[in-house]
Structure 1
Amino acid sequence: MKKILLVDDNEQDRMLYKRFLGKQIGHERLEIYEADSGQDALTTFQAQQPDCVLLDYNLLDTDGLEVLESLKQVAAPDSLCVVMITGGGNEALAVRALNSGALDYLVKQHFDQELLCKTVLHAIEKNEWRQYMARYHAEIKTVNQQLRDSVDELTEVRQQIRHKNTLLTMANEEIRARNEQLDTSNQRLARTNADLDNFVYAASHDLRQPVDNLRGLFEELRHSAVTSDPEAEQMWQLVDTSLRALSTTIADLSMVIQMERVPGEQVTELVSLDELTADVLQTLHPQVIASEATIGTDFSALPAVHYVRSNLRTILLNLLTNALKYRHHERPAQVQVRTRREGNHAILEVQDNGLGLNMERYGKDLFQLFRRFHPQAGEGTGVGLFLVNRLVQANGGSIEVDSQEGVGTTFRVQLGSAAG
């Protein structure tokens, strides 16, 4: 349905136009409105928003060009469809009408029904095409603006990326420099540690023979010397104790260094706890007899474990040695050795009823080298527990200690995966 507004102060002309146009043009049905003055035309246009205006130039209250300007003020941009009708074939007036916004023009008494219908239909189609192009260009403009905005955002993002890449490059260079410094420091530290190990090993090895010679000379001097000093025997005893302590310290130090210098990866095997414990107790037989200790074992839950046999023997030997060495002298020593499973891990426990210790006070130093907590209990250098802890950690295990002063101690060693 298309709306046509006829603006002409001559009623007969309007009736002629209506008859020419009929009820439709082409395939479009028509709805026709009429106005006989400029003011009436403006009012009807605003109310009906027609698709095309047939505007007569000569009106009683004004002329067509002024009405055209008024219609342009109230119509949407690029939406006004006006066909100006002039009289007398005035081409100059027709040009002015076209320049002022009319889409076409007709000369009175010079058109018939066919020309009027074609002119109106063409003007409507031209106007619709103009509106379509206006929308299209507006959309293109919007898309172009969006593209420009996207390009601006992309440019900003690229600048940010370049800035971050610059920062990242600087950070990588700094990290590389620090890594090089760290590598240099690590190499220097490794050389220092190796030199220190070599020094300690050489020192302990070279000192052992002079100390043994010194002990031999001391024994000869002790048996051959004659003195009337009543305190001489005590002096001899102090010297003997000092020499024994020095010899033990050198031997333990050598053992620590030898453990660190073991070449390559050691091979694990399935170790029977009964056999290993019997071997260790055979070694400790004199201490067991001297302390009148009772050693109980229970390996029923886990008879064997996969471990480096020599390492496991050192662990068990040192834990049992500690249990015997630091026994409580007011009661017979009782030591319990047992194994169990805890998830997929093998647990070795050594429990005694010895002197125990204050874990809050000494716990953090328990596995430190050359630390002793009961010096009055007997000879020792504090190397044993240090060795145990290093061996256990080297095999991916850990040690828990429960101890109560005057009651006893339990060492709970997680050895690793349990055997089948």
Structure 2
Amino acid sequence: MKKILLVDDNEHDRMLYKRYLGKQIGHERLEIVEASSGEEGIAQFRTVRPDCVLLDYNLLDTDGLALLLELKQLAPPDTLCVIMITGGGSEELAVRALNNGALDYLVKQRFDQELLCKTVLHAIEKNEWRQYVARYHGQLQTVNQQLRDSLEELTEARRQVQQTNAQLLTANQEIEARNQQLARTNRDLDNFVYAASHDLKQPINNLRGLFDELRRTATFDDPEESEVLRLVDASLDDLNTTVTDLSAVVQIDRAQGEQITEKVLLADLTADVLQTLRPQLQTADGTVHTHFEKLPELVAVRSNLRTILLNLLGNAIKYRHTDRAPEITIVSSLLHGQAVLEVRDNGLGIDLEKHGAELFHLFRRFHPEAGEGTGVGLFLVNRLVQAQGGRIEVESELNQGTTFRIFLPQ
């Protein structure tokens, strides 16, 4: 449930925005709260703590820029989500609003329902992403501090690894330099994601190589030193997984418009995916049934469809029930001119009443005890399906299993 605060002294405009937004955006249910003045907007903001504020620039008791500054004082740093709306199309005003903390800017009578919904959804996602980045940045600083402390201790204890310690110190300095760069690029989250997913990958690989070399050549008698190394090793794995998943998210957005659809034989594609998942499937003693008789092939971007199947089948194996072997069924059919690809499993299931609204959000995990992951898979699946003009339906029951039903235009 996302809360939207409308601050506008024009009742007709507020009614229009409420009608445009409706009761939900995509998979998001909405609760809309109204304020007809700046003073009332401040009071509602304190009470409701909305996920997004639609703020009219021209208010009777104040102006939007002044009210924006007041809202910034009430919200924690980098958590305020405001879209400025005005009756004039001044580019200077738009720049001032963005510089003062607004995430986006709309001009009255120049947007329709689709643009308003997309702008609100994008602003909320961008704000959530910004908050995740802040947490991730803090974790990264903690890891760096742990590395520095362990390097100092190991340097004093083991002379034979002095050269490796020097290389690690150099690598830490490189990471600190990149941390400074990331702090600057936080103002533009798209640039930050691009830097994180591309520029950070090689230094992390270098650091992993240096750490593995250190562990191979050094000996440790103190149990506390071994525990420090274990923590660093786990932190490096987490960091590498996060950057890899961020890279996948970036590629989804950057690749749109460059990919070509084609007729894809589902049997061949599924065989390819199952070959990739063969070790996990064998370990879990899982079984996969396919029924492609009604629709042997469908029109799609092959690489995207492969990613969709790989994530859904991988999740079905990962989140299997401990009391039974995983049994997965894949069925294809044609319904009202749309291809339907259904993936059913008998795993842990999902409480849709509790988690349904968050199902396709970034970094959401519903069974953390079942295995490692970052909660990116379903986000990618949903984005890939939407990019081709499709949609996803989900049916699930706890401890019984889940069905993902994907509809793609043909």
Q: When the two structures are superposed, what TM-score results if normalisation uses the length of structure 1? A: 0.53
Equivalent of 2:278 in 285, 288, 291 = 285
1:12-411 mapped onto 2 (5 Å cutoff): 178=87, 180=89, 185=94, 195-230=188-223, 235-262=228-255, 264-411=257-404
Shift of 1:255: 1.1
- How far, CA to CA, are the matches of 2:392 and 2:250 in structure 1? 22
Shift of 1:206: 1.7
Partner of 1:415: 408
Shift of 1:195: 4.2
Go from structure 1 to structure 2 and tell me whether the alpha carbon gap of 1:177 and 1:372 turns closer, same or farther (over 3 Å shift). closer
Go from structure 1 to structure 2 and tell me whether the alpha carbon gap of 1:386 and 1:263 turns closer, same or farther (over 3 Å shift). closer
Shift of 1:220: 2.2
For 2:408, what is the secondary structure of its paired residue? strand
Bigger Cα displacement from structure 2, 272-281 vs 260-269: 260-269
Shift of 1:372: 0.9
Checking the alignment, whether the CA contact within 8 Å between 1:245 and 1:379 is kept in structure 2 is no
Checking the alignment, whether the CA contact within 8 Å between 2:362 and 2:379 is kept in structure 1 is yes
For 1:251, what is the secondary structure of its paired residue? helix
Go from structure 1 to structure 2 and tell me whether the alpha carbon gap of 1:371 and 1:307 turns closer, same or farther (over 3 Å shift). same
For 2:220, what is the secondary structure of its paired residue? coil
Shift of 1:353: 1.1
Note the alpha carbon deviations across 1:225-277, whole angstroms, 9 max, x for none: 32334466555444323221210110110111111112635321111111111
For 2:344, what is the secondary structure of its paired residue? strand
Checking the alignment, whether the CA contact within 8 Å between 2:348 and 2:398 is kept in structure 1 is yes
- How far, CA to CA, are the matches of 1:337 and 1:183 in structure 2? 54
Bigger Cα displacement from structure 2, 267-276 vs 239-248: 239-248
Shift of 1:183: 11
Note the alpha carbon deviations across 1:4-31, whole angstroms, 9 max, x for none: xxxxxxxxxxxxxxxxxxxxxxxxxxxx
Note the alpha carbon deviations across 1:152-172, whole angstroms, 9 max, x for none: xxxxxxxxxxxxxxxxxxxxx
* Percentage of pairs with the same residue: 56
Go from structure 1 to structure 2 and tell me whether the alpha carbon gap of 1:247 and 1:177 turns closer, same or farther (over 3 Å shift). closer
Go from structure 1 to structure 2 and tell me whether the alpha carbon gap of 1:309 and 1:344 turns closer, same or farther (over 3 Å shift). same
Q: Which amino acid aligns with 1:360?
A: E
Bigger Cα displacement from structure 2, 189-198 vs 203-212: 189-198
- How far, CA to CA, are the matches of 2:250 and 2:272 in structure 1? 24
- How far, CA to CA, are the matches of 1:273 and 1:240 in structure 2? 40
For 1:270, what is the secondary structure of its paired residue? strand
- How far, CA to CA, are the matches of 2:189 and 2:244 in structure 1? 17
Go from structure 1 to structure 2 and tell me whether the alpha carbon gap of 1:294 and 1:236 turns closer, same or farther (over 3 Å shift). farther
Larger Rg, first or second structure (1 or 2)? 1
- How far, CA to CA, are the matches of 2:370 and 2:220 in structure 1? 31
For 1:329, what is the secondary structure of its paired residue? coil
Q: CA RMSD for the aligned pairs?
A: 2.9
- How far, CA to CA, are the matches of 2:401 and 2:91 in structure 1? 45
Checking the alignment, whether the CA contact within 8 Å between 1:269 and 1:307 is kept in structure 2 is yes
- How far, CA to CA, are the matches of 1:333 and 1:368 in structure 2? 25
Note the alpha carbon deviations across 1:29-73, whole angstroms, 9 max, x for none: xxxxxxxxxxxxxxxxxxxxxxxxxxxxxxxxxxxxxxxxxxxxx
Checking the alignment, whether the CA contact within 8 Å between 2:197 and 2:250 is kept in structure 1 is no
Q: When the two structures are superposed, what TM-score results if normalisation uses the length of structure 2? A: 0.54
Unaligned runs of 5+ in 2: 1-57, 59-84, 106-122, 127-186
Unaligned runs of 5+ in 1: 1-173
- How far, CA to CA, are the matches of 2:91 and 2:357 in structure 1? 29
- How far, CA to CA, are the matches of 2:252 and 2:92 in structure 1? 26
For 1:335, what is the secondary structure of its paired residue? strand
Partner of 2:182: none
For 1:346, what is the secondary structure of its paired residue? strand
- How far, CA to CA, are the matches of 2:320 and 2:189 in structure 1? 36
Bigger Cα displacement from structure 2, 189-198 vs 402-411: 189-198
